[in-house]
């Protein structure tokens, strides 16, 4: 085994694409999300990933549950060498940002920002506490929404912008320990989360929104994560990598 990769939200969409790529590269993969372990998506993901994959139920907003999660993962699969912070929630309601309620704002930031921070903090502490062995990394999957404005889902954009800064902070803090930290910014990726807006975005893509002229696939995010987790970009720690077919490149 190359190491143990913990992927939040790894049972579907981008997370499953990442988990599949890491499993194919020889990592022991551990998935964590708030889905029930018996949910069809979880069962299907584990079947697809094979015997070296496992699943734990964990809600990122429940930061008090983090020690128990990591204890269980270490007991079964060994210390985490690659954390992929992929899990995230969209805006509950798309609409006028002047109508966002505190409850809906907190829902998004509790998962996408607060929960992600404290899980990364706990994993980083454990990585530092152990003697250096296999290359170790933390990868934050944010979004092009870290820099591109969507006023109908302002709380989501705010959470991703904050996560982008979080990645930089962890990169600087962990660099002396040879722990790489990276940020991936997916663009318009074909997943269950984007199914409801597929017609809208397909038309915009065909109209030139994405220079590559197509939707991205979850597997393409996984293809970028693998060399990061393997240490092949170790001296690029702190890098923010767009995976968006050119969507975020400023154009006239």
Residues contacting 159, CB < 8 A, separation 6+? 88, 108, 109, 112, 113
Give the H or E element holding residue 227.
helix 218-230
Dihedral angle at the C-alpha atoms of 135, 42, 186, 117, nearest 10 degrees?
A: -60
Contact (CB, 8 A) for 2 and 26: yes
Give the model confidence (pLDDT) of 109-147 as tens digits. Answer: 999 999 999 999 999 999 999 987 889 999 999 999 999
Residue extents of the structural domains in the chain: 4-243
Q: How many angstroms separate the first and last alpha carbons of the chain?
A: 48
Residue 171 phi, psi dihedral angles, 5° rounding? -60, -45
In which order are the strands placed within the sheet that holds 28-33? 53-57, 28-33, 4-8, 82-85, 136-141, 179-186, 240-243
Burial of 90 (0-12, 13-18, 19+ CB in 10 A): middle
pLDDT tens string, the chain, 252 residues long: the values are 689 999 999 899 999 999 999 999 999 999 999 999 999 999 999 999 999 999 999 999 999 999 999 999 999 999 999 999 999 999 999 999 999 999 999 999 999 999 999 999 999 999 999 987 889 999 999 999 999 999 999 999 999 999 999 999 999 999 999 999 999 999 999 987 777 778 889 999 999 999 999 999 999 999 999 999 999 999 999 999 999 999 999 998
Q: Which CATH superfamily is domain 4-243 in?
A: NAD(P)-binding Rossmann-like Domain (3.40.50.720)
Distance separating alpha carbons of residues 220 and 12, to the nearest angstrom: 14
Contact (CB, 8 A) for 115 and 162: no
Q: Is the pTM of the predicted complex or chain greater than 0.85?
A: yes
Residue 7 phi, psi dihedral angles, 5° rounding? -115, 115
Q: Which residue in this structure is represented by tokens 């006028």?
A: 96
Q: How many CB atoms lie within 10 A of CB 130?
A: 10
């Amino acid at each position: 085994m190359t190491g143990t990769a913990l992927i939040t939200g790894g049972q579907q969409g981008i997370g499953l694409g990442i988990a599949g790529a890491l499993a194919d590269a020889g990592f022991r993969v551990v998935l964590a999300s708030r889905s029930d372990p018996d949910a069809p998506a979880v069962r299907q993901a584990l079947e697809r990933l094979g015997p070296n994959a496992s699943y734990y139920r964990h809600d990122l907003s429940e930061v008090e549950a983090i020690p128990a999660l990591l204890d269980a993962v270490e007991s079964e699969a060994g210390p985490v060498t690659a954390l992929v912070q992929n899990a995230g929630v969209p805006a509950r309601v798309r609409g006028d940002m002047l109508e966002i309620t505190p409850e809906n704002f907190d829902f998004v930031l509790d998962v996408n920002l607060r929960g992600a921070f404290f899980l990364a903090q706990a994993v980083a502490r454990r990585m530092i506490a152990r003697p250096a062995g296999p290359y170790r990394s933390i990868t934050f999957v944010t979004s092009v929404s870290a820099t591109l404005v969507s006023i109908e889902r302002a709380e989501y954009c705010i959470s991703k912008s904050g996560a982008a800064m979080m990645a930089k902070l962890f990169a600087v803090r962990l660099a002396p320990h040879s722990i790489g930290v990276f940020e991936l910014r997916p663009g318009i990726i074909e997943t269950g989360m984007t199914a409801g807006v597929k017609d809208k975005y397909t038309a915009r893509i065909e109209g030139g929104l994405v220079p590559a002229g197509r939707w991205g696939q979850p597997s393409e995010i996984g293809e970028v994560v693998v060399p990061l987790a393997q240490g092949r970009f170790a001296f690029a720690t702190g890098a923010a990598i767009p995976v968006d077919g050119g969507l975020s490149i400023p154009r006239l």
